Chain A
């Protein structure tokens, strides 16, 4: 059985095709600019092409993320917490704490062995703890987004940011540039500031190993280094962790199909 997962995030739409809830067939993503439904169809087409599967062969589609209700052909939708957690457990079965840093929100949840969310905390009100902050820095520092992380790794003496607001931090960062602070140090300061925000969410939920980072920022090596330094323990990262919520929703879709097949008694929730 092939199930699809679509994660309609604020910045990027991510998708995954999973066979029998276990084997990843394909992953794909496109920016969410424009009409989300159209972008989501493109993701589905790309997935089909990558896995060599016709649209009709996807047995069940489960959506998640900010725009999960906008896809008419979905069979099921699940919250971002549930799908991210499930995806993290799939990638790293010993995960007990998931940190999900996206474009517009960051969230953290503690999970059970089965991927059940036990406790969670999220910040969606303020850009300072989210990828949007990095995007803005990239714009006014005129460094391409994908170079921010690698450049930060050269930092020897990170310049910490005292502002807790993305807009006020902008002034501070520009002043630092004017004062001649080295660029890698400024960039690492940005990632450390994000890490500190994530860390306070994590502490609220309770820090226990293993910690797994998922979501848009997991591809950023600067972010990973900073989070590792801030938390003071290993943080699981994997290329597919970028698609954790999409993978998780495809897997949850599979579980739902099995539950439905078992009869009406199991079809609750």
Chain B
């Protein structure tokens, strides 16, 4: 099947789009911030990925939408849940994946897969900002950093300041009081990352921790978080620069299966 397919993943914070060509080769991708007009954001995500792939819209045979805003991908032919897409994308990139941990802007999911890469169980937190990208955003802000800086900074800490609050709001006050007591911001950051790793582990334990573990979602691009997870788990964790796009990639692959008449 040589048709070109695209997957659009509209998350709570960013939109990701992936364009796949022949033999599921990656032709192009895009990453953009989601605002109030989700319909327009979805359009723009597709346009940018097509431009990146040097492919025109009429060459795309099938488009699949996923993520929190998947029902706003009006131009798509299929809608698939992000759980299913992250599973498929992870299985494609790391075929040995048995557990996917997806930490996004506003929710966290643990998804367990069988040998065929099918979803057998999942657990998720979408009720509370604790343990999500939002938690890191708020804490980075409280310390006066951009969220992109905090992972690398946390890695420079020699020890971690323990952060005991679960709630994002309370953690923010805790961070501020640590700063006023003269604690090193890097050590506070190390503590914050360790705290998310702890929360993530308890989510993972609800579905069963089994290697290989693949880390997806926006927070997977934070090296400090990857390190904290590896430390907490004591096992390797698969990550790639494409990890943030695995939902979109999975969506595109679902579309390809649908196109070729297979089960999706």
Contact = CB atoms under 8 A, between A and B. Distances in A.
Interface residues of A, number: 17
Contacts of A127: 167-170
A167 interface: yes
B16 interface: no
Interface string B123-161: 000011110001100100000000000000000000000
Contact of A168 (B106, B166, B170, B173): B106
A166 B135 CA distance: 12
Contact of A126 (B106, B138, B167, B173): B167
Interface in B109-131: 127-130
A166 B168 contact: yes
10 contacts: A125-B166, A125-B167, A125-B170, A126-B167, A126-B170, A127-B167, A164-B127, A165-B129, A168-B134, A171-B106
A132 B36 CA distance: 27
A243 interface: no
Contacts of A164: 127-128
A114 interface: no
B95 to A, nearest CB: 35
A136 interface: yes
A175 interface: yes
Nearest to B125: A165
A95 B155 CA distance: 54
Contacts of A132: 169-170, 173
A168 B169 contact: no
A168 B167 contact: no
Contact of B36 (A136, A163, A175): A175
A133 interface: yes
Interface of A: 104, 125-128, 132-133, 136, 163-168, 171, 175, 178
Contacts of B127: 163-165, 168
A51 to B, nearest CB: 33
Interface in B167-184: 167-170, 173
A18 B6 CA distance: 73
Contact of B134 (A125, A126, A128, A167): A167
B169 A166 contact: yes
Interface in B1-53: 36
B168 A165 contact: yes
A125 B164 CA distance: 10
A165 B168 CA distance: 9
Contacts of B170: 104, 125-127, 132
A126 B36 CA distance: 27
B36 A167 contact: no
A125 B127 CA distance: 14
A54 B138 CA distance: 46
Interface centre among A125, A127, A133 (most CB of B within 10 A): A127
Contacts of A133: 169
B169 A136 contact: yes
Max chain B C-beta neighbours (<10 A), residue from A126, A128, A136, A167: A167
A79 to B, nearest CB: 20
B128 A168 contact: yes
Question: Which residue among B130, B138, B168, B169 has the maximum number of chain A CB atoms within 10 Å of its CB?
Answer: B169
For A126, A136, A164, the residue with the greatest tally of chain B CB atoms inside 10 Å of its CB is A126
B166 A167 contact: no
A132 B172 CA distance: 12
B34 to A, nearest CB: 11
Contacts of A163: 127
Nearest to B169: A127
A164 B125 CA distance: 12
B106 A166 contact: no
Given A132-B169, A164-B127, 4 more contacts: A125-B166, A127-B167, A167-B168, A168-B134
A167 B12 CA distance: 13
Contacts of B134: 167-168
Nearest to B128: A165
A166 B36 contact: no
Contacts of B106: 168, 171
A132 B135 CA distance: 16
Interface in B71-92: none
Contacts of A175: 36
A168 B129 contact: yes
Contacts of B36: 175, 178
A132 B165 CA distance: 14
Contacts of A104: 170
Contacts of A125: 166-167, 170
Contacts of B169: 127, 132-133, 136, 166-167
| A132, A136, A164 interface centre (most CB from chain B within 10 Å) | A132
A122 to B, nearest CB: 14
